[in-house]
Amino acid sequence: MTENISYLSSEDQEIINEKRALFKRHNTGENYKNKEFYIIQSNTTNINESLNQFPNNKIIIQVDPISSGIFKTNYTKGFEKKSEELNKRIDTFYENLWNKNKEFIDKENINEDRQKIEFYRAKKNADEAYDFLIDNLYQSNFYNIIELVKPDSTITYSDDQIKLEILINDLKNIKFDKNI
């Protein structure tokens, strides 16, 4: 939503700006990180692929016909350190890229607007590589992040054609460890 789009065609910029305006109209302004529960309702979302979007000590409720569950994010200090190190590396890379870009503009006396566009193209490519690294970090540390919330009780039903197991959770009873 905040990425520089000046390097895109005017038609693409117009489409993105319309979507940004639509998002702003429908965004309630509620702080995403202040929510206690996050509900994912999808047939295609793999919790591993979206784990990096959820803050620590929050409940994720996955409603999916193939794989459902209730999880609590519980980032270990070791994992948070790995994540911070990766973020610092990418920030340093962007800073160095921008400084080299400015140096090139000054030295070669070229069009600054055009060079900024090239910088944002390079940054977009780096973002894709970074996204792969951060996703891999979260996926490979899945069990260091996610804690399964055990149900308070279970109801089972079966007949000749169907077998159901209903897990019952009282989300008010889930305790959050604020010291992690």
CB atoms within 10 A of CB 153: 9
**SS3 state of residue 22:** helix
Please say if the pLDDT value at position 180 is more than 50: no
Residue 155's DSSP bridge partners are 166
Q: How far apart are CA 20 and CA 152, in angstroms?
A: 42
Check residue 152 and give its pLDDT.
Answer: 84
**What share of the chain in percent tops pLDDT 70?**
88
Whether the predicted model's global pTM rises above the 0.85 cut:
no
The span from the CA of 133 to the CA of 143, in Å, is 17
d(CA 44, CA 47): 10
Using an 8 Å Cβ cutoff, are 114 and 134 in contact?
no
Q: What is the mean pLDDT of residues 89-107?
A: 82
The model's pLDDT over 27-47, given as tens digits with 9 standing for 90+, comes to 655 677 778 888 888 777 777
Strands 153-158 and 163-168: antiparallel
CA distance 152 to 115: 59
Q: Encoding tokens for residue 73? A: 């994010």
More confident residue, 45 or 122: 122
State the pLDDT at residue 36.
Answer: 81
CA 123/CA 120 separation, integer angstroms: 5
Measured CA to CA in angstroms, residue 129 lies from 43, 126, 134, 137 at distances of: 27, 5, 9, 13
CA distance 12 to 9: 5
